[in-house]
């Protein structure tokens, strides 16, 4: 069985940006959500190491950085935020996703910590 990962680079031609099907060589392939893929086809295994609830504005600089802060490349990313710190960048990202006043609401959020587990092949 061949597994094609939608996020992987490869010889594919999308019918259009919003299409759920792709042409590979001369075959049309319909994508299935990863939740329906067999377990052995997983490219990453995560082990949850902690779960807690906290107020959004309690996020630390380290946790904000771990959320994907692009560092020195901020001005060239899709987020295009002029952020000097990970926490400021995260605030702007949160507002962009959830609305202009979302950070100020200081909602309760779930914090899920995890580590990558290497699974023998």
Which pLDDT belongs to residue 10?
A: 59
The pLDDT score that the predictor gives to residue 49 is: 97
What is the number of alpha carbons within 13 Å of residue 18 lying toward its C-beta?
0
- The whole-number pLDDT of residue 35 equals 80
What is the per-residue pLDDT for 15?
Answer: 46
- Indicate the pTM of the whole model: 0.63
Is 28 exposed, middle or buried, given 0-12, 13-18 or 19+ CB atoms closer than 10 A?
A: exposed
Q: Which residues of the chain have pLDDT under 50?
A: 12-17, 73-79
Whole-number pLDDT of residue 54: 97
- pLDDT the model gives residue 76: 44
CA–CA separation, 29 vs 41, rounded Å? 17
Which among 27, 23, 20, 1 has a CA at the least distance from the CA of 12?
Answer: 23
24/31 Cα distance (integer angstroms)? 12
């Amino acid at each position: 069985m061949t597994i094609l990962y939608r996020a992987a680079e490869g010889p594919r031609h999308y019918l259009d940006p919003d299409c759920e099907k792709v042409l590979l060589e001369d075959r049309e392939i319909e994508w299935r959500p990863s939740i329906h893929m067999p377990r052995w086809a997983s490219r990453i295994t995560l082990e949850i190491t902690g779960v807690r609830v906290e107020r959004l504005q309690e996020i630390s600089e380290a946790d904000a950085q771990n959320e994907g802060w692009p560092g020195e490349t901020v001005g060239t990313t899709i987020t295009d935020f002029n952020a000097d710190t990970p926490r400021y960048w995260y605030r702007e990202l949160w507002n962009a996703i959830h609305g202009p006043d979302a950070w100020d609401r200081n909602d309760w959020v779930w914090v899920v910590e995890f580590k990558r587990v290497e699974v023998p092949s």
